[in-house]
Chain A
Amino acid sequence: MCDGPRETREKTMQKDSHVATYPRFLLRVFSGAFDGGARFYVTMTVLTAIALVGANAWAQQVANGMHLTSMTDHVSWGLYIANFTFGVGLAAGAVMMVIPAYLYDDHEMHDVVIVGELLAIASIIVCLLFVVVDMGRPDRFWHIIPGVGRFNWPISMLTWDVLVLNGYLLLNLHITGYLVYTRFRGDKPAKRWYVPFVFLSIAWAISIHSVTAFLYSGLGGRPFWNSALLAPRFIATAFVTGPALVIVLLQGIRRLTSFHVGDGPIRTLTSVMRVTVLLNLFMLGSELFTALYTGGAHAASVKYLFFGLHGHRGLVPWIWTAVILNVASALLLHLPQTRKSLGLLDLACVCAFIGVWIEKGMGLIVPGFIPSTLHEIVEYAPTLTEWKITAGIWAFGVMILIVALKVVLPVLTGELEGKAPST
């Protein structure tokens, strides 16, 4: 409140210049990333191993061609794009901590909001990797860099996605980087350097998931995706998975670190989920009614997904698992016992997370291609290569999140400070 620019400037003047502190900050953060207890090393080794298995599978896929996947000219996107779509939702969903913290001035949420922002960073990196592994020619990556290649903007929705995803990544890197660095120096963060960006990031979070939905809903030849309800559904599911993961994450942080996590944020996020799980089920129901009551060719994909078509039932077990999990999480979240039991709450979060992962991944991308535009039915089930690469990318994402939390939280608790080196 009283941190006028002059006061901040005077404070800064007395300290070391940024030229000295910033490299020290980076060094401390970097060495902090590789330092930890036995549990940390074991976790990171296991995750590295999984990531390397994925990297190896990807190298083989690039060298030998994408026939190592189960994708075909009929089902030309599969597990990778499914995970990409889900990951964008996760990144956007993290903003559900930013909104209460900044828009509604929830102080307890404000203390932990950085967890959401770090989750957004890790998720976006995961998304970008899923796009890269889906490319037939990753060596031509530079063709899609604005100003360098030939960027088909504004006509291609994919170019919009490139802009909004990378923009969101930069926004969150700036916000967290700035806040952590000023805390490291012992300064009070100047509002003008982060508050406008925080508000921008709220709108931006909605944009990344809307644009990703428009990627599919704008295709007239794919009736399953060609629905105005797709973007709202994406946003609703984003606000299921983001809070679900953060609720579990906050409990882990509370147990494993000295970082203070109050009960308030978990309560707030649970309230958000109570609404969004129902909203998602309602919208899913509306889609199902519209398709199935109308019938005809437009219902073919829905029929294939939920009941099978002409003896082809590849996705039926997937989608019913998702429905059961989503309904279970909705019921659990509204059970009075769940208010008292973190165990039940965690179970609800896990159900919702996996349920949406299926519904918005395999349950959304694959049936868009079945039946094909010429109404042929070619089924799709991911190969081992696809599973390896997918596991590898998620393992890498978890590593980023762990390392990010590990270096950022000690700075915020004051365990890691930028005073002149003691030794």
Chain B
Amino acid sequence: MSEPEGGKRRVFLKVLGGTLGASAFAYAMAPLRAWTKDLSAEKFLQKHYKELGKEEIQKVIARVERETLEKYGAKVKVKDQKPIEGVEFGYALNLSVCIGCRKCAEACHVENNHDRKTNNSYIRVLEMDQGSFDMARGDAQYDHAVPAPGKYYLPIQCQQCDNAPCVKVCPVQATWKEPDGIVVVDYDWCIGCRYCEAACPYHARRFNWTKPEVPAAAVNPDQGILSNRIRPQGVVEKCTFCLHRTREGRLPACLEACPTGARVFGNLLDPKSEIRWVLENKRIYVLKEELGTKPRFFYFFDV
């Protein structure tokens, strides 16, 4: 820096280097441009579901409907189904009659607007060895006629735990338990850290590794803002006991699809409900009870 000429050259080189560096950085970050186009200020600043007023939620719903039309070409009706007072949902599944046909998983796939390419579903069915409860001996990839001799079948979906590890670990309260017992996700609040996926002992959560693809004709237009509306890329989702159906008095899609009647769904607070009868009269088994998660999903046997 002693010679003025050398100093000038140095400054020139620094400016040149800085300019080159800045343009290289802009070039490197270019892929983000398309992505930010989709990111409006309104979306960026959208509040948590629980903080939205009645009018604000209507705006969000209108936006989701508009985006579904623009991106998927499908006209859909999104609603904000609220929990019903005096109702707490429970689900039971009869392991003696389940034949492992996976119709429930298929119905879930269609009902909940899952990505078609990955054949995603909230239900996973394990083919288990007769005489064993050890999942290590189960197989989720079986591909043969069912029921196979010496086997029984264990469908697993979100257990809607009362002491849910996924709710505990979420750093931003993007997932919580509703008064009717259903654990939901605010898809517009989730930051996609996937801590809940690590915490869940039942493999109940799914992440949107890319934008879900559903052909317009296949989109289920009957949607809930906290349930089966098409999820954005980069967020976590899960089974909601089909709350867009069940909170309107209908049954979950997986139950309707079951050909053997293995599934029983209903209001735990209603002493005359079928689910209460099952819980009071059958031998009940709860998955991984030792973890203290307190599931609302019960397995039973015909004995």
Contacts and interface: CB of A to CB of B under 8 A. Distances in A.
Contact of B203 (A67, A138, A215, A374): A374
Given A140-B191, A156-B169, A297-B136, A373 B44 contact: no
Nearest to A44: B17
Contacts of B209: 65-67, 69, 71-72
Most B CB contacts (10 A, CB to CB) among A139, A144, A162, A300 go to A139
B32 A63 contact: yes
B171 A159 contact: yes
Interface in A109-168: 131, 134-141, 143-144, 149-152, 155-159, 162
Contact of A156 (B136, B171, B293): B171
Interface in B11-51: 14, 17, 21, 24-25, 27-32, 34-35, 39, 44, 48
B197 interface: yes
Nearest to A150: B173
A238 B56 CA distance: 48
Most A CB contacts (10 A, CB to CB) among B14, B35, B138, B202 go to B35
A220 B201 CA distance: 7
A221 interface: yes
A134 B288 contact: no
B126 interface: yes
A73 B205 contact: yes
Contact of A136 (B29, B136, B156, B235): B235
B37 to A, nearest CB: 10
Nearest to A45: B17
A361 B195 CA distance: 17
Contact of B140 (A69, A144, A157, A374): A374
A149 B172 contact: yes
Contact of A59 (B31, B39, B48, B210): B31
A155 B24 CA distance: 42
Interface string A288-327: 0000000001001000000000000000000000000000
A300 to B, nearest CB: 6
A298 to B, nearest CB: 11
Given A150-B189, A297-B136, A158 B21 contact: no
A113 to B, nearest CB: 31
A421 to B, nearest CB: 14
A63 B35 contact: yes
Contacts of B233: 65, 136
Contacts of B83: none
Given A136-B233, A220-B292, A60 B31 contact: yes
Contact of A144 (B191, B202, B207, B236): B191
A64 B291 contact: no
A135 B203 contact: no
Interface string A351-362: 000000000000
B168 interface: yes
A65 B48 CA distance: 23
A373 B174 contact: no
A219 B165 contact: yes
B46 to A, nearest CB: 9
Interface in A146-200: 149-152, 155-159, 162
Given A137-B235, A152-B171, A221-B165, A297 B140 contact: no
B32 A62 contact: yes
A136 B194 contact: yes
A55 B202 CA distance: 35
Contacts of A22: none
Given A136-B233, A141-B191, A221-B291, A59 B211 contact: no
A9 B203 CA distance: 63
A43 interface: no
Contact of A56 (B29, B165, B172, B194): B29
Nearest to A34: B14
B208 A65 contact: yes
Given A76-B197, A137-B190, A66 B172 contact: no
B21 A48 contact: yes
B138 A375 contact: yes
B120 to A, nearest CB: 9
B30 A376 contact: no
B204 to A, nearest CB: 9
A137 B172 CA distance: 13
B199 to A, nearest CB: 5
A93 B254 CA distance: 52
A76 B207 contact: yes
Given A76-B198, A143-B189, A56 B208 contact: no
B6 to A, nearest CB: 13
A204 interface: no
Interface stretch (A94-102, A242-250, A253-261, A364-372): A364-372
Most A CB contacts (10 A, CB to CB) among B34, B48, B126, B209 go to B209
B172 A221 contact: no
A77 interface: yes
B135 interface: yes
B135 A375 contact: yes
Contacts of A233: none
Contacts of A150: 48, 172-174, 189
Contacts of A76: 194, 197-198, 207
Given A59-B32, A372-B203, A375-B135, A137 B191 contact: yes
B170 A369 contact: no
Most B CB contacts (10 A, CB to CB) among A56, A141, A156, A215 go to A156
Interface string A14-42: 00000000000000000000100000010
Nearest to B138: A375
Contacts of B292: 220
20 contacts: A62-B32, A73-B197, A73-B203, A73-B205, A76-B197, A135-B193, A136-B208, A137-B190, A151-B172, A158-B169, A220-B293, A221-B288, A222-B198, A297-B135, A373-B201, A374-B124, A374-B138, A374-B140, A376-B140, A376-B203
Given A139-B39, A157-B169, 19 more contacts: A34-B14, A45-B17, A53-B28, A60-B31, A63-B32, A65-B209, A65-B211, A73-B206, A76-B194, A134-B193, A136-B192, A137-B192, A137-B234, A150-B174, A155-B168, A221-B200, A297-B136, A368-B198, A373-B201
A-B CB proximity, top 6 nearest: A136-B192, A221-B201, A136-B234, A65-B210, A56-B28, A158-B171
